[in-house]
Amino acid sequence: MIALFAAAALAVTPVPPCAAADPAVSDITVKLVKKRTPDHYVITAKITNLGALAQVPGIVQHAELVQDGKALLQQDVPALGAGITYVLGFAIDRAPALRKTPLPVTVRFVLTRGDAARNNCNTTDDILTKSF
């Protein structure tokens, strides 16, 4: 009985941030900005350092807009301090006939140069997919 209570208590305890830096794709939004042929969409993504420490200056990292497993577009992301959010945008065009069809959007964070243990201690939050 005590073991069950302890397991339940552990299940609801929030996970503490990494002891290092942890950039994560924290949000994605999409806005149709021009209805035309083709329609023009702006995709906004947020990369937030959820970790306890700032990233080390001089690292190289970027975010990618991904479709069917391939990067369509990418943008550089600067080194982030603890708790800091960096907002970036991507622009895509889509046929007007697809307006009523769901638009799946995937953004992936990529650390290309730098110590991953220090600058990206949790990779499970490096990709986010939403459908709009």
The CATH number assigned to the domain holding 23 equals 2.60.40.10
**Between 109 and 2, where is the model more confident?**
109
For residue 6, being part of any structural domain is answered with no
Q: What is the pLDDT of residues 66-79, one digit of tens each?
A: 998 999 999 999 99
Closest by CA to 123, choosing from 105, 108, 102, is: 108
For residue 4, being part of any structural domain is answered with no
pLDDT band, very low/low/confident/very high, at 9 (cuts 50, 70, 90)? very low
Closest by CA to 55, choosing from 12, 84, 35, 29, is: 84
Length reported for the chain: 132
Q: How many domains does the chain have?
A: 1
Question: Is the pLDDT reported for residue 7 higher than 70?
Answer: no
Range in 3-7, 115-119, 126-130 the model is least confident about: 3-7
Type of residue numbered 58: G
Is the link from the previous residue into 38 a cis peptide, with omega within 30 of 0? yes
Q: What is the pLDDT of residues 26-48, one digit of tens each?
A: 999 999 998 889 999 999 999 99
Mean pLDDT of the chain: 89
67-71 own/partner pairs: CB under 8 Å, 24+ apart: 67/106, 71/108
For residue 11, being part of any structural domain is answered with no
